[in-house]
Amino acid sequence: MKKIVRNSQGPRMPIDKILVPVDFSACSDAALAYALSMADECGAQVEVLHVWSPRDREGRASTIFADTPEGIAMERALSAAESDHAARICGRLEFGEEPSSVILDILERERFDLVVVGRGGRSKDQGGHVSAHLEREAPCKVVALPIVKADPNRSFVDTFIAKRTAGGFDAG
């Protein structure tokens, strides 16, 4: 039986499929952790998406994603998520120069109930931060997690959860 997540701004909504775009920043790590905890509660599938340009920072072509720092980070994130969570998890790689455009194309073609994204990651497109573009244009609900100042005595995710539980966020 699927659990239903209560939306504070409207009726309850069942969540079966969550998209989590990642760029391997601390913000996207927190978004993935949040989505996984939500999926554990409601039985949803989590699709972890990375939009990759096969060019490195110097403009040279790189053809093997698995050998890049992003490829290694994706493998580690998926392995950790699968070992630590009951949710169904899959990884997805898409090619493109503008992450928000690629993500919006996916959301137009496929059904997702929710997108969970971190604000202030590494990826920017011509319209600004990816999260802001998704919040404006996505055809489904978007949860954009705020930037959270790190607490030196806690992990980033623990700091985020503690601040969320206490009801306060410091942008900064």
CB of 114 closer than 8 Å to CB of 31: no
The length of the chain is 172
Domains of the chain: 13-166 (3.40.50.620)
CA dihedral (26, 28, 34, 37) in degrees, to 10, reads -100
Q: Which pLDDT does position 11 carry in this prediction?
A: 54
The residue among 130, 101, 113, 111 whose CA lies nearest residue 25 is: 130
The phi, psi pair for 118, rounded to 5°, reads: -90, 145
The three-class DSSP label of residue 95 is strand
- Cβ atoms of 38 and 44 closer than 8 Å: yes
N- to C-terminal Cα separation, the chain: 40
Q: What angle do CA 34, 40, 42 make, to 5 degrees?
A: 100
- Residues 6 or more apart in contact with residue 114 via CB below 8 angstroms: 15, 17, 18, 19, 35, 38, 44, 140, 141, 142, 143
**pLDDT computed for residue 172 by the predictor:** 34
pLDDT of residue 146: 81
Paired with 18 in beta bridges are 46, 114
* pLDDT value, residue 13: 72
pLDDT in tens, the chain (172 residues): 444 454 455 556 789 999 999 999 888 999 999 999 999 999 999 999 999 988 766 767 767 888 888 999 999 999 999 999 999 999 999 999 899 999 999 999 999 999 999 987 655 433 337 999 999 999 999 999 887 665 555 554 555 555 555 555 443 3
